[in-house]
Structure 1
Amino acid sequence: MRSEPDSSERPSFALFSRLAAASSLSFGCLVLIGWLFEIPFLKSVLPGWPSMQANSAIAFVLLGGSLLLGKNTRLARGLAALVFLLATSTLIEHLFFLDLGIDHWLLLKPIGATRICLVSSLSFAFLGASLLFSELRLAPFLALPPGLIGLWVIMGYAYGASLLLGFPHSPNMPFNTALNFLLLGIGILCSDTRKGFMAIAASDGPGSVVLRRLLPGLLILMLALGWVVPFGESFGLYGRSTGNTLLFLFLIVVAISVALAVSGDLHRMDEVRKKAEEERNLLQEAQIETLLQADRLKDEFLSVISHELRTPLNAIMGFGSLLNDGVAGDLNECQRSFVAKILDGSDRMLKLINSLLEFARMRAGKFEIEKKEASYRETVEEALDFARPTALEKGLSFFSEIKVEERVFIDEQRIFQVLSNLISNAIKFTPQDGKVFVKAFVVDDRLVTEVSDDGIGIAPDSLEGVFELFAQVGTGTDGGHGLGIGLFLVRNVIEMHGGRVTAASAGAGKGSCFTVALPPDVLEGRVPAPPAGSASAPAPTPDSPRRFLVVDDNADAAVTLAMLLEMLGHTVSVAHSGEEALAAVGAFAPDIVVLDIGMPGMDGY
């Protein structure tokens, strides 16, 4: 069983619907009592006015009960069906001049009841059908004709217009019958605010609010004016022309009042809307500021935690290198294997931390490039030399072809990071005995570098997203996933140079190729490399021993660096705070100071 429709969402509509149903039921019962006990004023409102028929009273009782119960209950539909059957049977009697004995069935003949008139039968048929077929979209509109007929007749009684009281081939309609038709018509419309204009009237929009406020009062006022002006004429207070003038004057006043009321309501609603929008904007601004602050704190935290992770990691790598170099004594093969694994894991961790730091700088707007004249061949070769040990250890074939001899204008450090990242990825995602190819050449005044492999490849649906932040394109043969930041940084560095990086792959298991294309401006003003055999500057010689002051609040990092410098033949002094460093400068007189910037108390600045 379904619950009653949405009228409960607008309590005033639901209340009016129930009141209309109760009124119909009550009027019907009173009229039936009047017929049973011959009480004239219960059958008609005033002496001399037509009386409501007993069968009409029964129909109103059934309709009121149906509406009061809720249109979608079985009992309510059954009551509505009885009214519809009664009305259509009476219509058949009128149309075909038959006597089906309906009054005998209802046991109304003995009390003098007669057949329902044609117009009333038609109205009952519409009302019964509206309640019986309430699920249909147009069902509520079937209640409109009976309501309008009732209003028509009531206007006739109110203004003394006898022509409005009846219809062709029908006697005058009783006042209580017309009133019940009007109440039931409006009540059925108010019982379902989901459809038609009632949905508009019941909504929360500004037009609906104005309609609900003005329409009832406006109708009452217009009906009152239509009755007062003829009333004055009938008592000789003024003539017809004066009455018409007063009527038009009243209408003008009503129109102005309505216009002022509408504009006032709309103005108040607009003020409420503006206030709500201002409050919403303030709330949104506060939320945005909170999110931005949280984002800034996240970036600061990322930068600080990356720095704090790198400091102890440098100590681990430094001590590992000292062990590997035999500073603490010779190592056996097993020990060397363990140290190599420590250094390899530390190197991977350092790369991840460096990527996090670069990402933090980029988010903070501190990621910049500084173009200078450089040898692109040397930059590519440095990246190859950096990655070659890992490739050889994995058993990969490493091929390179560099056809760029000119010096170019690039940020050499950033381009080295880009190339190292691409080559390292190629090594990571290529299985043992695979091949990695690196090519650099100039085509159409664009500097192009290709890093390709015959490794695990990239699925076609993942190619577009490989350069997105935190994107994961697959699992390397060594099990390393990475953070998904490297290729994001690669794309940003290349785009900051005005270039473009793309990825291509024939599919999973078919290798991949990453292409970096730098624009012509990196080649503008290119300087040819010196010819072979030409005189060149003498090779630099190692520096003579220096006096180094190492200042770092992290004791492990300071000791590691000091030991490495001493291994190179330098004299080293260590300080762990800014105050110790100032004292050591006078006592030790260093040539070079290696200074940690982020120290507690007195920092490196």
Structure 2
Amino acid sequence: MPSKRKGPLAEVVPLRPLAKKTPAKRAAKPAPPVDPDAAARALLEMGRHLTDNAGPTEALRSQLHIVHALLKPKVCYVARYFPARDQLHVEHVRGRNDDRIIAASPGDGAVGRAFTQKTLVREPGTVAVPLEGAQGITGVLVVLGARRKASDTLMLSLAAQLSAAYEVARLRDDSARRNKDLQTAIAGLKSLEQNREELLGNVSHDLKNPLTTIKAYLAMLGREKLGALADSQRRAVQTCDRNADRLLRMVNDLVLMSRLSSGKMQLNQRPFGIKAVAEEVVRALGALAEHCKVRVVIPPCPEVFVRGDRERIAEAIHNLVENGIHHSEAENTVEVRVSSADGVAMLSVKDSGPGMSMDALEHVFDSYYRAQPGMPRPPGAGLGLPLVAKIIALHGGRVEASSILGEGSTFQFVLPMFAGAVSTPELSQAAPKAGGILLVEDDADCREVLQQVLEQEGYRVMATSGASEARTLLSHIRPAMVLLDLRLSEEDGRSVLRFIRGTESLADVVVYIISGASEVASLTSGEGLDRIDGFFEKPLQLPKLLDIVAAVVRPSMRGPAVP
């Protein structure tokens, strides 16, 4: 604005600054309440997504998205409590950044108070709701600058849904992780079980090879095939033979207990008579009973038939009778009684020993339980009675024990009786054939003694140690019988069996397996290329072996003279 002149120079008048107009402050409008229908839809949606999240983080993200859409806040987030740090750390955020989104200590600010006081806390622009889980208050749901006002009930409901979704996702996450760990552990156990089975099979086979050699030479000595014996020498041979049988029983019991405990035992079931089996067992234990000066008797009774694995039941009866012999004094009697009643077959073994207390009876079928503390453990004790219980249970039966101190003990097992007719027709056996015997055995001592035993009986024997040599021999000869070890050092003996069955000119050759493997009895079910005519389990019972060989092969020469 120009100044007025009063003289030669104009007076300058300063301009006044214009007054600044300050707008009037608007009063903050209260946030409208949440529409009830919208709240109901939000809770329903949160419920629907309760179980479809991949993990806890995804659960928080999904649930916070619904809360944010319902309340229209500037930001909402979850603060999770970490006991190790004693702080509430921000775990997941939905919305814009805000300076108030920081870790909090219990008791400090709205977030800390909501956690400590376990109640909803409201401050201007802030709502903090505790999150309650299975372990108590685990965190806080925080809503900042909500554009929709929610009641305390709605906020608590939203927090409960969010907490539930988080807990479900966490539990499912833990379950998946534990299931994975469990699958890894199961795979490890299966591998361990397989290794254990292989180890037991190999140990059983390797232990039975030297036992076969020992038993065979002892049998030859006892029959005076290697020269006449003095009385003291004969007693020494009998003692060695008896202890070799003890060692064999211990090996068999360990392998059998392992297979029964692991559920790997396969039963070769067929009908048979219990009385006949009991008579065989009593004959087999005759030497032990004579040594202990104990009489074992089977009172006259009719035959009783059952269906099961004859070899396994024979082992159970053997253990019961052997236990009775060991617990009887000299000149005492062990009674083996076979009977039937109400459709069940029963076998009992009663001894005249010192008996057992009630406490001992409760544990008599426990492995390695010593019935009478302070008394020496009888030979073979430890696994015998527990094996009986497992074998009988595997056949659907039960075993019981009763005893009176000073009067002896009675063990009885009960099995379902076989109702069908059982006939034992004579097998149509072809006459023994001329020809030699091929012996395939990789243990040098075992091979040598078997060849010596067979040659002394007048048989022509060709012996080899490996599968490839056996196949080479079989390409040029046709033996009348093959005695084949399964576990050869370089190759499985089954390859020789399959070569024989797959060669037209050899397919009908009689093949008997000789093996110390514990699963040898299951081989009788083989067909086609795996078909066998029978088996001999190591250590070999020479009388049985020679009887079967004599039925198949005709001796071609006279045995060497006894020196």
- Alignment partners' CA distance in 2, 1:338 and 1:580: 39
Aligned equivalent of 1:380, options 278, 285, 304: 278
The AA in structure 1 aligned to 2:450 is L
SS in 1 for 2:345: strand
The AA in structure 1 aligned to 2:396 is G
Aligned equivalent of 2:442, options 539, 545, 553: 553
- Alignment partners' CA distance in 1, 2:120 and 2:272: 88
**Percent same amino acid among aligned pairs?**
25
Q: Report if the CA contact (8 A) 1:550-1:594 is conserved.
A: yes
- Structure-2 residue corresponding to 1:218: 121
Map 1:497-536 → 2, pairs under 5 A? 497-507=395-405, 509-520=406-417, 522=418, 524-526=419-421
Map 1:84-99 → 2, pairs under 5 A? none
SS in 1 for 2:204: helix
1:473 and 2:362 aligned = no
1:287 and 2:176 aligned = no
SS in 2 for 1:402: coil
- Alignment partners' CA distance in 2, 1:402 and 1:362: 33
SS in 1 for 2:299: strand
- Residue 324 to residue 563, structure 1, CA distance change in 2 (3 Å): same
Structure 2, unpaired ranges of 5+ = 1-104, 128-146, 495-563
- Residue 559 to residue 551, structure 1, CA distance change in 2 (3 Å): same
CA shift for structure 1 position 347:
0.7
Q: Deviations over 1:468-502 (max 9, x none)?
A: 44444358988435363332332233234332221
1:579 and 2:491 aligned = no
- Residue 252 to residue 480, structure 1, CA distance change in 2 (3 Å): same
- Structure-1 residue corresponding to 2:390: 492
Instruction: Please say which structure displays the higher CA radius of gyration.
Output: 1
- Alignment partners' CA distance in 2, 1:415 and 1:489: 10
1:440 and 2:329 aligned = no
Q: Report if the CA contact (8 A) 1:566-1:572 is conserved.
A: yes
Q: Report if the CA contact (8 A) 1:318-1:561 is conserved.
A: yes
- Structure-2 residue corresponding to 1:35: none
Q: Report if the CA contact (8 A) 2:356-2:371 is conserved.
A: yes
Structure 1, unpaired ranges of 5+ = 1-201, 225-248, 530-535
Q: Report if the CA contact (8 A) 1:472-1:481 is conserved.
A: no
- Residue 261 to residue 491, structure 1, CA distance change in 2 (3 Å): closer
Q: Report if the CA contact (8 A) 1:545-1:570 is conserved.
A: no
- Residue 442 to residue 542, structure 1, CA distance change in 2 (3 Å): farther
1:396 and 2:294 aligned = yes
- Alignment partners' CA distance in 2, 1:270 and 1:538: 69
SS in 1 for 2:325: helix
- Alignment partners' CA distance in 1, 2:184 and 2:482: 47
The AA in structure 1 aligned to 2:386 is F
Q: Report if the CA contact (8 A) 2:306-2:416 is conserved.
A: no
- Alignment partners' CA distance in 2, 1:344 and 1:475: 26
Q: CA RMSD in A?
A: 4.0
The AA in structure 1 aligned to 2:420 is G
The AA in structure 2 aligned to 1:518 is L
CA shift for structure 1 position 515:
0.9
The AA in structure 2 aligned to 1:525 is G
Q: Report if the CA contact (8 A) 1:475-1:481 is conserved.
A: no
Q: Report if the CA contact (8 A) 1:578-1:604 is conserved.
A: yes
Hey, which of these two has a bigger chunk of strand by percent?
Answer: 2
The AA in structure 1 aligned to 2:385 is L
Q: Report if the CA contact (8 A) 1:451-1:515 is conserved.
A: yes
Q: Report if the CA contact (8 A) 1:403-1:441 is conserved.
A: yes
- Alignment partners' CA distance in 2, 1:413 and 1:273: 51
- Structure-2 residue corresponding to 1:118: none
Q: Report if the CA contact (8 A) 1:299-1:364 is conserved.
A: no
Q: Which moved more, 1:337-346 or 1:273-282?
A: 273-282
- Structure-1 residue corresponding to 2:236: 338
Larger RCO, structure (CA 8 Å, separation 6 or more): 2
- Alignment partners' CA distance in 2, 1:579 and 1:250: 89
- Residue 595 to residue 257, structure 1, CA distance change in 2 (3 Å): same
CA shift for structure 1 position 550:
1.0
Q: Deviations over 1:367-392 (max 9, x none)?
A: 23334343443222111111122112
Q: Compute the TM-score of the two structures, normalised by the length of structure 1.
A: 0.53
CA shift for structure 1 position 592:
0.5
- Alignment partners' CA distance in 1, 2:217 and 2:272: 34
1:431 and 2:325 aligned = no
1:313 and 2:216 aligned = no
CA shift for structure 1 position 361:
3.6
CA shift for structure 1 position 590:
1.8
Q: Deviations over 1:284-306 (max 9, x none)?
A: 33233323432332233222212
- Alignment partners' CA distance in 2, 1:219 and 1:323: 102
Q: Compute the TM-score of the two structures, normalised by the length of structure 2.
A: 0.57
Aligned equivalent of 2:478, options 589, 597, 601: 589
- Residue 456 to residue 252, structure 1, CA distance change in 2 (3 Å): same
SS in 2 for 1:505: strand
- Alignment partners' CA distance in 1, 2:112 and 2:252: 63
